[in-house]
Amino acid sequence: MKNRSKRLNQLVAILKENETVSVRRLAELLGVSEMTIRRDLDTLKSEAIVDRSYGSATYRRNSVVENTVSNYELYSAKIQQNEEKDRIGKFAATLIEPGDVVIIDSGSTADKLARYMPEDMDITVLCYNYNVLSCLINKTLTKLIFPGGYYHPTEQLFESPQSIELIGEIRATKAFISATGVHEKLGITCANNYEVPNKRTVIQSAQTKILITDSSKFGKVSPAYFAQLNEMDMIITDSGLSSDWKSFIEQADIELSLV
């Protein structure tokens, strides 16, 4: 995993310097197969860091990496737990049923869920994240609601008072909510205060609230509080969750799914 993270960071550095580079050239520069490069580029594309075209890749200006300090330590935090997030998103998608009205929050695990959403199911989805929207826009049977608003490139998030009003008018059967911190006493938190109104309104507008976050977030606290754990009906996380947390969630009478 460490070698792959380092290689992904090197890929970003090469693409930032050269804009567009062929898959063949990237494989030569990094001494790996073209198949490996394609898998790595798929990961970077899923994180909205590169754009893919036939046989090449282009660095996406104004991406998440562009808006942070571009070094290995900070970037690797963006891609860590990628496999766990993928499993969480894939399992979460299996909970969606025909006729559901679904709200999908912002975040890298929400991106995974959006990619696994059913292609052939009549559902309605409200989202306010660019990456989630781009995953759903070609699913022809999905009815999309996108509230819009002011754009925050670091989170790929849109928000505004008008969008909060629209979210508040929707009644959803299921809401999939992400977090960057889950603490037994200090509740569920996220990185930015501007995310909180969206999340709070989603919680108030949904029948079933489902927290989707990897096990590394448990026990952590981020700056912006938005909910208590007992406001969630279900938690989907990976099998790395500690036994203490499993017991705590069971005692809170919250359904837990480990993937």
In order of their start, the domains of the chain are 2-79 (1.10.10.10), 82-258 (3.40.50.1360)
pLDDT tens, position by position, 108-144: 899 999 999 998 899 999 999 998 999 999 898 999 9
pLDDT tens, position by position, 66-118: 444 344 443 454 555 788 999 999 999 999 999 999 999 999 899 999 999 99
Specify the pairing of strand 224-227 against strand 255-258. unpaired
Among the listed residues 159, 158, 119, 155, the one whose alpha carbon sits nearest the alpha carbon of residue 139: 119
- Give the Cα separation of 250 and 106 in Å (integer): 26
Please report which confidence band the pLDDT of residue 63 belongs to, taking 50, 70 and 90 as the band edges. low
- Give the Cα separation of 111 and 136 in Å (integer): 10
pLDDT tens, position by position, 208-255: 999 999 999 999 998 899 999 999 999 999 999 999 999 999 999 999
The torsion angles phi and psi of 37, rounded to 5 degrees, stand at -60, -40
What residues pair up with 20 in beta bridges, in sequence order?
Answer: 58
**Which residue stretches of 214-259 are H helix?**
243-251
Looking at this protein, which amino acid is placed at residue 131? N
